[in-house]
């Protein structure tokens, strides 16, 4: 998804320049405390119009969905995503790649938007790839929550019942 092989060099540099990455954050299976801080800052920018910066309930719900999505991906993909997060989290590479020199917890909505735009518009393909992966994961996490999918004009899928009488017609229309 991000190009794990290409990322390993840069994130190794990021790791050397900062502190070592930690284990999962409380309540998360894969996302680490520093990833949670990063995603709290980026999510309202990526989902602008749906999530306001102070809307912790919606941000937390999206992060939980993100963590579940990470569990559902493969080990090499997760490794690549975490390496991308290392680049965005560690002081020096964070500042150089996104212009965010203070911690993500201090970032405003405008800071987050500016960081995303720098990654998107960079002449370095690897940063464009990080941008593509991060926004895809955040927006997928949000729209994978069934109630959010319904905000698109999508009425939802048909209802599936697993047990019906043998010989019953495969479809019946339920009148309201």
Partner 1 sequence: MTDLSRLTLGSTTDPYNRAAERGWDITDASQLTSSLELEADVVIVGTGAGGGTAAETLSKAGLSVVLLEAGPLKTSSQFDMQERAAYRDLYQEGTGRGTKDGGMVILQGRSVGGSTTVNWTTSFRTPPETLKFWAEQMGVSGCSVEEMAPYYQHMESRLNIHKWPQTPNNNNGMLQRASEKLGYSWATIHRNVRGCLNLGYCGLGCPVDAKQSMLVTTIPGALDNKAKLVHRARVVRVLRDGDVVKGVEAEALTPDVRGTTGQKITVRAARTILAGGAINTPAVLLRSDVPDPHGRVGKRTFLHPTTLTMGIYEESIDPFYGAPQSIYSDHFQWQNVHTGPIGFKLEVPPLQPAFAAGFYAAAGEEITQSMAQLNRTQCMIALMRDGFHEQSQGGAVEIDDKGQPVLDYPISDYLLEGVRRAFNVMLEMQFATGAQSARPAHKQAKHYATWKEAKAAVAELDVAAHKATIGSAHVMGGCAMGDDPKRSVANCDGKYHHLDNLYIMDGSLFPTSIGANPQLSIYGLVYKLSTNLLSQFQA
144 φ, ψ (degrees, to nearest 5) = -75, -15
Instruction: Name 2's Cβ contacts closer than 8 Å, sequence gap at least 6.
Output: 77, 80, 81, 83, 84, 129, 130, 133
Q: How far is CA 147 from CA 120, 156, 165, in A?
A: 29, 9, 30
Question: Which of 22, 72, 106, 108 touches partner 1 by CB under 8 A?
Answer: 72
118 binds partner 1 (CB under 8 A): no
Q: Kindly state whether residue 116 participates in binding partner 1, applying the rule CB under 8 A.
A: yes
Among 45, 63, 91, 97, binds partner 1 (CB under 8 A): 45
Question: Cα torsion for 73, 76, 31, 42, to the nearest 10°?
Answer: -80
User: How many residues make contact with partner 1 (CB under 8 A)?
Assistant: 66
Provide φ and ψ at 132, rounded to 5°.
-60, -45
CB of 25 to partner 1, least distance (A): 20
Q: 5 or 12, CB closer to partner 1?
A: 5
Segment 142 to 161, residues that bind partner 1, using CB under 8 A = 142-144, 146, 148-149, 151-161
Q: Could you tell me the smallest distance in angstroms from the CB atom of residue 83 to partner 1?
A: 11
- 167 near partner 1 (CB under 8 A): yes
125 belongs to the binding site for partner 1 (CB under 8 A)? yes
Residue-wise DSSP of 33-94: HHHHHHHHHHHHHHTTTTS-TT-HHHHHHHHHHHHHHHHHS-HHHHHHHHHHHHHHHSHHHH
47 is an interface residue for partner 1 by CB under 8 A: yes
Binding interface with partner 1 (CB under 8 A): 1-3, 5-6, 45-50, 68-69, 72-77, 80, 113, 116, 120-121, 125-126, 128-129, 131-133, 135-136, 138-140, 142-144, 146, 148-149, 151-164, 166-174, 176
């Amino acid at each position: 998804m991000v190009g794990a092989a290409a990322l390993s060099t840069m994130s190794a540099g990021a790791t050397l320049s900062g502190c070592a990455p930690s284990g999962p954050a409380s309540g998360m299976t894969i996302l680490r405390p520093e990833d949670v801080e990063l995603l709290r800052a980026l999510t309202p920018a990526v989902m602008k119009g749906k999530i306001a910066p102070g809307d912790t309930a919606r941000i937390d719900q999206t992060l939980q969905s993100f963590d579940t999505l990470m569990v559902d991906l493969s080990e090499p993909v997760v490794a690549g995503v975490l390496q991308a997060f290392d680049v965005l989290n560690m002081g020096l590479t964070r500042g150089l790649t996104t212009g965010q020199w203070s911690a993500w917890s201090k970032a405003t909505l405008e800071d987050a938007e500016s960081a995303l735009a720098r990654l998107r518009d960079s002449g370095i393909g690897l940063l464009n790839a990080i941008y593509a992966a991060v926004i895809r994961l955040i927006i997928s996490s949000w729209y994978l929550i069934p109630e959010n999918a319904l905000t698109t004009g999508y009425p939802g899928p048909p209802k599936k019942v697993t047990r019906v009488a043998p010989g019953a017609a495969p479809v019946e229309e339920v009148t309201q």
